[in-house]
Amino acid sequence: MLRYLSSKDRRARDNPIMAEVQIRSLSHRHREIADWLLANPHEKNLQKLCNMMNISRPWISVVMQSDVFKEYWAKRRAEYERDMHDKVLRKQYDVTLKALEKLDDIIAADDVDDRLIFDIANKTAANLGFAPSRGPRTSVVEERTQELTRTVDAGTLAEARETIRRITRVEHAQLPAPEPE
């Protein structure tokens, strides 16, 4: 809807006299245009509006492009949207209350399955924001060990063994002697 409100009619744009015309104040006919636009939000063809009101397409364009109409249209549309929002919200509350009354009747019956009652309680609590939180997600840490095999020549291996023996002897020599029992 906003797309055709902002685009100018080609004939009005090409005609310098039409392009300079500005509406100074709104008449009841201009308000009727806004009412029609609100009543027909999905209508893209403004020719139907022109035929209904017996006015030309270039004049509709001039009216809709005027600053006065744009300001009125923005206010009127905001009022309409607020009103629709309130109506929808009230209707949703009414439906919710009716549904809760019926659920009350179902739960009050003795022949109701306990799982149904539990399911209703959980869903109701969740919708009201009272459901328990799941807490932080546990992350799975995957450790990978890789066995590395290297080939070593006999001389390097003998040297490493000798170094280990020397370190072990030094550590044992530094230990205090065991105390007699």
3-state class (DSSP) for residue 102: helix
Do the Cβ atoms of 33 and 49 come closer than 8 Å? yes
Q: Can you point out the beta strands (E) in the chain?
A: none
Q: Which amino acid is at 150?
A: R
Would the pTM of this model clear 0.85, i.e. be above it?
Answer: no
Per-residue model confidence as pLDDT tens digits over 84-126: 999 988 888 887 778 778 888 877 877 777 787 778 777 877 7
Collapsing DSSP states into helix, strand and coil, what is residue 40?
Answer: coil
> Which of the 8 DSSP states describes residue 63?
H
Which of 56, 28, 52, 29 is CA-nearest to residue 40?
Answer: 52
Contact 58, 7 (CB under 8 A): no
Question: Tens digit of pLDDT for each residue in 49-78?
Answer: 999 999 999 998 899 999 999 999 999 999
